Amino acid sequence: MIKPVGSDVLKPRFVYDSARHHALSSEAEGLPSVLISSQAAGNAVMLAGGYFSPLPGFMGLADALSVAESMTTTDGRFFPVPVLCLLDDVEAIRGASRIALRDPNLEGHPVLAVMDVERIERVDDSQMAQMTHQVYRTDDPAHPGVATFQSQGRFLVSGPIEVLHFSYFQQDFPDTFRTAVEIRNEIIERGWRRVVAFQTRNPMHLAHEELCHMAMERLGCDGLVIHMLLGKLKPGDIPAPVRDAAIRKMVELYFAPNSAMVTGYGFDMLYAGPREAVLHAYFRQNMGATHFIIGRDHAGVGDYYGAFDAQEIFDTEVPQGALEIEIFKADHTAYSKKLNRVVMMREAPDHTKDDFVLLSGTRVREMLSDGIAPPPEFSRPEVAQILMDYYRSPA
């Protein structure tokens, strides 16, 4: 099985030992505590599940700046984006060596993790601007990832953490949320040796489905892990429970038994394009995938990134040997009226735009809202029905 990044074994930060968990929970109630941001909580959940292994916790300022610039920490470890806990106010924890981090996404804000504080540092405007530009390739406040990143505080608290629960993800998505540890174990149980992962924050239409089949066939994979983001998205995106239902229906009807696994992870979308694509590959290797599909404008938003920037970064910026996972570079896929099947558009050079069944996202949403199913060349009818029910349900 493929090794985790930078280690022979995963190093999840969740406290699995029951005695240690109980003792830490009791200790946490007496520690100075602080309410963290949703983005920091997502980082803690990813650290807990082993997705960010072998990172022990939140980065300090020197590592954050180094990672933003070169995707390596000050001691040479590879990581694609800064993993930060940024706060507005640190008075409640100033001088403390151990603190409790409280979850902003659960009622009552229970303790999510306990941190051994290494540093509390002030991030100045120029440092914040540097990290923003290097990670997001823009400082436009209209970019949803930039807006979220810049809205956090300017005090950086760093140090290793021990995590007590998985926020709302485990309770809200019990059938879908899985840690990297759990996915690795299931891949072994299923007997898969070559595994391709597919990232999604949207329902999967016919082109996405066929792209997965295409990748599995060309790569000779035993299995597919459809791995959906379960955290916060931008306004207007389809909620995770709806996506989950639509994808599960597709897999049930159109994939062979024991060929596809539907799972999800607890993290807020960054919309960081190329850098987020590398992060996606990083934690897919940690969960046991040997291959990862990256298509046109992966993890992008608006017109901030070139169509294939998220593929090119692996050849131009990722340090050689940093990742073992292999990238399946895909083009936009669509149904060909000439060939009566879904193809990658670059593999149909004799086609014009009119030879494909192409619908804009806006047009699809309009159709679904009006109770009109997209054509079967675009979307499976069973998937379309789930989405129509969502769009036509009372707000």
* Catalytic center residues: 201-202
Q: Which two tokens stand for residue 245?
A: 């239902």
The end-to-end CA distance of the chain, in Å, is 46
Output phi, psi for 190, to 5 deg. -80, -10
Q: Which two tokens stand for residue 153?
A: 């505080």
For residues 170 and 176, what is the distance between their CA atoms, to the nearest angstrom? 8
Residues facing 234 on adjacent strands: none
Contacts of 56 (CB under 8 A, 6+ apart): 11, 13, 47, 160, 161
What number of other Cβ atoms are within 10 A of residue 49's Cβ? Answer: 30
Output phi, psi for 130, to 5 deg. -60, -50
Cα dist. 170→38, 106, 167, 231, 361 in Å?
Answer: 16, 12, 7, 12, 30
With residue 359 as reference, give the H or E element that holds it.
none
Helix axes 240-254, 381-391, angle to 10 degrees: 160
- For residue 105, give the DSSP letter: T
Q: In terms of Cα–Cα distance, which of 341, 332, 395, 338 is closest to 359? A: 332
- For residue 297, give the DSSP letter: T
Cα dist. 381→212, 359, 360, 368, 387 in Å?
Answer: 18, 16, 18, 11, 10
CB-based burial of residue 391 (10 Å sphere; 0-12 exposed, 13-18 middle, 19+ buried)?
middle
